[in-house]
């Protein structure tokens, strides 16, 4: 195991030479600083942190050091194996669930850059043809597993957020302090067929619908949408971005 300290907390990871550059960025504070600022803002010792898309443990094992407990959902078999390996070596209570967020009985997930990458997706695939049928879990089931009244969600599901609007409407607005949502319009665009202009329009409309599915929360960083739109227009390709939805009663702070 390798101890990595980032944003004032230490997490023990399996020593993976292929992740050397990533770990250097993480340790230097260059990798998604706003994610950790927002978790620290919204999570305390009375909170269950629900991390949907736990990847290789960067956020769940960090958040476990400030939350009452963490529930981590990860369908990728390689990533889930890493999460299991990390469990006895790290602080805090982390429940690991090998599943994907969906109301369907099973969800087919495709390799993108190989399983174990951060890009396994239900919407697009790489050229290997590798795929798995993942067990699924719903927001309602996750909320029933939480042992605290207070919840915070982090959702990063590689484009499947566009297929999960009904799930997002089920998030308990009275219990949830906030939702950190990774948005991947570039994946949705790549999954669609037809002329590029039509696919682009459908992607924009779908993104607006995605934002509306969080009605009842306040969008804390609306500028992220316009920044992503400007970058996408300049580069002529969609770019991903992160949104933060907070309880309407929450005090507005700079956490961007």
> 79-121: per-residue pLDDT in tens?
999 999 999 999 999 999 999 999 999 999 887 777 777 667 7
| CATH number, position 163 | 3.40.50.150
For residue 160, being part of any structural domain is answered with yes
Structure token pair of residue 33: 């600083």
For residue 193, being part of any structural domain is answered with no
Global pTM reads: 0.92
For residue 246, being part of any structural domain is answered with no
For residue 41, being part of any structural domain is answered with yes
Q: Provide the domain count of the chain.
A: 1
Q: Report yes or no: 73 and 102 within 8 Å, Cβ to Cβ.
A: no
Q: What is the pLDDT of residues 7-50, one digit of tens each?
A: 999 999 999 898 999 999 999 999 999 999 999 999 999 999 99
For residue 158, being part of any structural domain is answered with yes
Domain that holds residue 10: 2-181
Radius of gyration of the chain (CA): 18
Q: Which one, of 125, 117, 59, lies nearest residue 90 by Cα?
A: 59
Q: Report yes or no: 4 and 13 within 8 Å, Cβ to Cβ.
A: yes
For residue 117, being part of any structural domain is answered with yes
Residue 246 Rama label (left phi>0; alpha psi -120 to 50; beta):
beta
Structure token pair of residue 215: 């009605």
DSSP secondary structure letter of residue 215: B
Q: Report yes or no: 23 and 10 within 8 Å, Cβ to Cβ.
A: no
Stretch 135-140: mean pLDDT, rounded? 98
Beta bridge partners of 217: 215, 247
């Amino acid at each position: 195991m390798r101890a990595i300290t980032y944003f004032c907390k230490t997490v023990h990871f399996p020593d993976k030479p292929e992740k050397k550059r990533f770990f250097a960025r993480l340790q230097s504070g260059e990798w998604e600083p706003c994610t950790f600022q927002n978790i620290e803002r919204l999570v305390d010792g009375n909170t269950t942190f629900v991390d949907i898309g736990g990847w290789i443990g960067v956020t769940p094992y960090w958040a476990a050091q400030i939350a009452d407990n963490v529930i981590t959902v990860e369908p990728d078999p390689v990533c889930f194996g890493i999460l299991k390996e990390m469990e006895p070596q790290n602080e805090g209570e982390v429940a690991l669930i090998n599943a994907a967020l969906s109301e369907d009985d099973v969800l087919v997930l495709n390799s993108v850059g190989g399983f174990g990458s951060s890009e396994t997706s239900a919407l697009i695939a790489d050229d290997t043809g590798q795929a798995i049928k993942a067990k699924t879990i719903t927001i309602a089931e996750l909320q029933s597993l939480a042992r605290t009244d207070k919840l915070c969600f982090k959702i990063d599901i590689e484009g499947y957020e566009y297929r999960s609007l009904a799930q997002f409407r089920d998030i308990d607005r009275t219990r949830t302090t906030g939702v950190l949502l990774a948005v991947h319009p570039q994946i949705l665009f790549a999954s669609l067929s037809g002329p590029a202009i039509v696919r682009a329009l459908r992607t924009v409309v779908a993104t607006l619908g995605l934002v509306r599915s969080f009605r009842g929360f306040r969008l804390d960083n609306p500028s992220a949408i316009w920044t992503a739109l400007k970058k996408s227009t300049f580069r002529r390709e969609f770019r991903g971005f992160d949104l933060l939805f907070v309880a309407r009663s929450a005090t507005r702070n700079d956490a961007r």
